[in-house]
Chains A and B, each alone.
Chain A
Amino acid sequence: MPVRVAESSAPSQVPEAANPGQTSPQACTLLSVGQAFSGTQNVSSLQKEEAWRVNVRIQGCDLEHGYLCGTMEALNVPMADTPVVTFWEGEIVDTKNYTFFTDKWEATSEEDIKHWTKFPSFSPLLNQVEVDGGKSLDLSNYPHIFMRWKEQYFVNVGTDCGLTIAGFYYVCFSCSDGSINGYYYDPNSSPFQKLELKSTNEGRSGFSSSSYELQ
Chain B
Amino acid sequence: MPTATSTTATATNTSTTATSGILHRLFSTDQDVKLKALRQLKNQIIGNRTKKLSFLKLGAVPSVAAILAEAVLADDGDRNNSFNKNVIVQSAAVLGSFACGFDAGVQAVLAAGAFPDLLRLLSNLDEKVVDAGARSVKMIYQSKLAPKYDFLQEKNMEFLLSLLNSESETVSGLGASIITHSCKTSVEQKILFDAGVLKKLSSLLEGSLSQKDSSLESLATIFKDNPEVVLKFVGSESGRALSSIIELVKDKFARTRLLASLCLIVIRNTSPCYLQDIAVKTKLVNTLLELLGDPGQVGDEASFALSSLIVQKEDMQKLAFENNAIDKLYCHLQKDSLNPRRFEGILLALADMCSKLECCRSRFLSSQVLNSVVDAVAHDSADVRSAACICFKSVARSIQNLSAGSFLTEAVVIPLVRVLDDPSTSVQVAALGVISNIVVDFTARRSIFIKCGGVKQLVQLSKSMDAAIRLNALWALRNLMFQAESKCKEGVFMELTASLLASLICDPEPFVQEQALALVRNLVDGCISSVEYVFAEDGIILDAVGRQLQSALKAEIGIQGMYVLSNVATGEEFHKEAVLNQLIPHAETGSQAYIIKFLQSNDSRLRTAAVWTVVNLTNSLSPGAVDRLEILRGAGIVSQINNMQNDPCLDVKLRVKTALGQFKTLDTCLSHTFLWRLPLAGYITLLSFFFAIKAV
Instruction: List chain A positions with a Cβ less than 8 A from chain B.
Output: 26-29, 33-34, 59-60, 62, 69, 71, 87, 89, 141, 143, 152-153, 155, 175-176, 201-215
B525 touches A210 (CB 8 A): yes
B525 (CB) vs chain A CBs: closest residue: A210
Per the 8 Å Cβ criterion, residues 371-404 of B in contact with A are 393, 396-397, 399-400, 402-404
A208 touches B651 (CB 8 A): no
B526 within 8 A of A: yes
Per the 8 Å Cβ criterion, residues 293-338 of B in contact with A are none
B619 to chain A, nearest CB (A): 5
Q: Inside 8 A of A34's CB, which chain B residues have their CB?
A: 482-483, 525
Q: Inside 8 A of B622's CB, which chain A residues have their CB?
A: 205
Secondary structure type dominating chain A contacts? loop
A77 to chain B, nearest CB (A): 20
B482 touches A212 (CB 8 A): yes
A166 to chain B, nearest CB (A): 19
B654 within 8 A of A: yes
- Given A27-B605, A212-B479, A213-B479, the answer on whether A206 and B649 have CB atoms closer than 8 Å is no
B442 within 8 A of A: yes
B479 (CB) vs chain A CBs: closest residue: A212
Q: Inside 8 A of B526's CB, which chain A residues have their CB?
A: 202, 208, 210
A74 to chain B, nearest CB (A): 17
Q: Inside 8 A of B651's CB, which chain A residues have their CB?
A: 26-29, 175
B399 touches A59 (CB 8 A): yes
Once bound together, how far apart are the Cα atoms of A143 and B567, in whole Å? 25
B475 within 8 A of A: yes
- Listed stretches B275-283, B432-440, B587-595, B669-677; interface member: B432-440
- Of the candidates B399, B436, B522, which one forms a contact with A210 in the assembled complex, judged by CB atoms under 8 Å apart? B522
**Interface residues in B, total, Cβ within 8 A:** 51
- Given A211-B522, A214-B440, the answer on whether A175 and B482 have CB atoms closer than 8 Å is no
Most chain-B Cβ atoms within 10 A of its Cβ — which of A206, A207, A213?
A206
A29 touches B655 (CB 8 A): yes
- Of the candidates B472, B482, B483, B570, which one forms a contact with A204 in the assembled complex, judged by CB atoms under 8 Å apart? B570
A209 touches B403 (CB 8 A): no
**In the complex, the 4 A-B pairs of residues with the closest C-beta atoms, listed nearest first:** A206-B616, A60-B399, A204-B570, A206-B570
B315 to chain A, nearest CB (A): 13
B361 to chain A, nearest CB (A): 12
A211 touches B566 (CB 8 A): no
B482 touches A215 (CB 8 A): no
A209 touches B567 (CB 8 A): yes
B522 (CB) vs chain A CBs: closest residue: A210
B615 within 8 A of A: yes
Once bound together, how far apart are the Cα atoms of A143 and B658, in whole Å? 14
B397 touches A214 (CB 8 A): yes
Per the 8 Å Cβ criterion, residues 508-524 of B in contact with A are 518, 521-522, 524
Secondary structure type dominating chain B contacts? helix
Per the 8 Å Cβ criterion, residues 422-479 of B in contact with A are 433, 436-437, 440, 442-443, 472, 475, 478-479
Task: Name 11 interchain pairs, CB-CB below 8 A, sorted by A.
Answer: A29-B608, A33-B482, A59-B403, A176-B657, A205-B572, A206-B616, A207-B612, A208-B566, A209-B521, A209-B525, A213-B475
Q: Inside 8 A of A208's CB, which chain B residues have their CB?
A: 524-526, 566-567, 570
B621 within 8 A of A: yes
Q: Inside 8 A of B472's CB, which chain A residues have their CB?
A: 215
A201 touches B570 (CB 8 A): yes
- Given A143-B654, A210-B525, the answer on whether A215 and B518 have CB atoms closer than 8 Å is no
B616 touches A207 (CB 8 A): yes
Contact string against A for B residues 593-637, beta-carbon threshold 8 Å, 1 for contact and 0 otherwise: 000000000001100100010011001011000000000000000
Q: Inside 8 A of A210's CB, which chain B residues have their CB?
A: 481-483, 521-522, 525-526, 567
- Of the candidates B396, B400, B478, B483, which one forms a contact with A89 in the assembled complex, judged by CB atoms under 8 Å apart? B400
Once bound together, how far apart are the Cα atoms of A207 and B604, in whole Å? 18
Once bound together, how far apart are the Cα atoms of A141 and B483, in whole Å? 29
Once bound together, how far apart are the Cα atoms of A59 and B615, in whole Å? 25
B528 within 8 A of A: yes
A33 (CB) vs chain B CBs: closest residue: B482
Once bound together, how far apart are the Cα atoms of A87 and B401, in whole Å? 11
B343 within 8 A of A: no
B467 to chain A, nearest CB (A): 16
B563 (CB) vs chain A CBs: closest residue: A209
- Given A143-B654, A176-B657, A209-B525, the answer on whether A214 and B436 have CB atoms closer than 8 Å is yes
A87 touches B403 (CB 8 A): yes
A206 (CB) vs chain B CBs: closest residue: B616
B571 within 8 A of A: yes
B554 to chain A, nearest CB (A): 15
Once bound together, how far apart are the Cα atoms of A132 and B399, in whole Å? 31
A215 touches B393 (CB 8 A): yes
B111 within 8 A of A: no
Q: Inside 8 A of B655's CB, which chain A residues have their CB?
A: 29
- Of the candidates A26, A87, A201, A214, which one forms a contact with B437 in the assembled complex, judged by CB atoms under 8 Å apart? A214
Q: Inside 8 A of A153's CB, which chain B residues have their CB?
A: 404
Q: Inside 8 A of B616's CB, which chain A residues have their CB?
A: 205-207
- Of the candidates B402, B570, B650, which one forms a contact with A207 in the assembled complex, judged by CB atoms under 8 Å apart? B570
A143 touches B650 (CB 8 A): yes
Contact string against A for B residues 643-666, beta-carbon threshold 8 Å, 1 for contact and 0 otherwise: 000000111001101000000000
- Of the candidates B397, B566, B576, B619, which one forms a contact with A209 in the assembled complex, judged by CB atoms under 8 Å apart? B566
